[in-house]
Amino acid sequence: MKPLSLLAAAAVTLGHGACRGSAAEPPAPAPPAAPVWGVEIVAEYPHEPGSFTQGLLFHGGHLYESTGLYGQSEVREVELATGRVLRRAGLAPDEFGEGLARVGDRLVQLTWMEGRAPVWDLATLRRKGEHRYRGEGWGLAFDGERLIQSDGSDRLVFRDPESFAPLGSLRVTDGGRPVSALNELEWVEGRLYATLWRADEIAVIDPETGRLVARIDASALLPPAERARVDVLNGIAHDPESGLFLLTGKLWESLFAVRWVRPQEGQ
């Protein structure tokens, strides 16, 4: 009986081991999708309708704007109240302007496919150098320590503001799924805001996790007839004094000062 008892015990032991080894861990639940916020228009300002807006920022009471298209790309200083261009500087004919960020007394601008990031003197708008990088350039923002670059995918690249060397990257997700077409960027109080190409939406991104805090529906900024004859939402800036955000788009005739409307605020 002893050998049989040993065999039975061994079988029980092996059976328990097999059960433990084959038991699959339940998949972790996907994080919930981000809530949708709206926009409330506080003011509307003129915007040059020929401006193919690619980057936008607000500093010292004025807008600074990067425009695109080959042979037409510029960096500009613009008067907010009137939309009047106060100063402008052109890019080379083979450069297509994209995102724009301020680093101290400099403006750093991206180009779409040329791998060049022109550096401009803020006071004079004179070109004082450039950085080189690989891949496409879409949006650019500065968080006070690092530049953050988008390339139209779901990936953000962090860069050294002095050398433009890559420091790391971050994938952006919502409900566990990638959020692609990240475009123009703006950094405000620890959060990153990104327009989404062809979506009339703005993604509010947690820079630590890459997860969306919210999606902002900006589709009601323009009436349907006007929306049909212009290009995409592609300019976002922030006025720290008023707390308002400034939104416009490619070839838009208006620039809007807005505040976000969270779901509980609109009920």
Residues 79-123 pLDDT 10s: 999 999 999 999 999 999 999 999 999 999 999 999 999 999 999
Report the CATH number at residue 99.
Answer: 2.120.10.30
Reply yes or no on whether the pLDDT at 33 is more than 80: yes
- pTM for this entry: 0.86
Q: By three-state DSSP, how is residue 5 classified?
A: helix
Residue with tokens 């300019």: 235
Q: Are strands 140-142 and 147-150 parallel, antiparallel or unpaired?
A: antiparallel
Write down the mean pLDDT value for the chain. 89
Contact of 141 with 170, CB cutoff 8 Å: no
pLDDT value of position 73: 97
Six token digits for residue 111:
């180009």
Q: Are strands 36-46 and 212-217 parallel, antiparallel or unpaired?
A: parallel
Contact of 258 with 245, CB cutoff 8 Å: yes
> Does residue 38 form part of some domain?
yes
Encode burial over 168-194: b for 16+ CB neighbours within 10 A, e otherwise.
eebebbbeeeebebbbbbbbbeeebbb
Q: How many other β-carbons are positioned within 10 Å of the β-carbon of residue 246?
A: 23
Question: Could you tell me what percent of the chain has a pLDDT over 70?
Answer: 90
Grade residue 23 by pLDDT with cuts at 50, 70 and 90: low
User: Per the structure, how many domains does the chain have?
Assistant: 1
Q: By three-state DSSP, how is residue 22 classified?
A: helix
Of the candidates 45, 39, 5, 13, which has an alpha carbon nearest to the alpha carbon of residue 265?
39
Q: Give tens-digit pLDDT for 57-87.
A: 999 999 999 999 999 999 999 999 999 999 9
Alpha helices, DSSP H, located in 25-131: none
Of the candidates 189, 186, 266, which has an alpha carbon nearest to the alpha carbon of residue 233?
186
> Does residue 226 form part of some domain?
yes
More confident residue, 5 or 252: 252
Of the candidates 253, 259, 258, which has an alpha carbon nearest to the alpha carbon of residue 43?
258
pLDDT value of position 190: 94
Sign for the CA dihedral angle at 229, 70, 62, 159 comes to: positive
For residue 102, the one-letter residue type is: R
For residue 125, the one-letter residue type is: L
> Does residue 64 form part of some domain?
yes
Compute the distance between CA of residue 99 and CA of residue 152 in angstroms, rounded to an integer. Answer: 12
> Does residue 256 form part of some domain?
yes
Six token digits for residue 80:
């907010």
> Does residue 128 form part of some domain?
yes
Percentages of the chain per state (helix, strand, coil), in multiples of 5: 10, 50, 40
Q: Give tens-digit pLDDT for 189-201.
A: 999 999 999 889 9
Domain region containing 127: 32-266
Compute the distance between CA of residue 82 and CA of residue 69 in angstroms, rounded to an integer. Answer: 24
List the beta bridge partners of residue 202.
Answer: 195, 216
Reported for 119-128, long-range contacts at CB under 8 A and 24+ positions apart, including other chains, are 120/75, 120/89, 122/59, 125/75, 125/77, 125/87, 125/88, 125/89, 126/89, 127/89
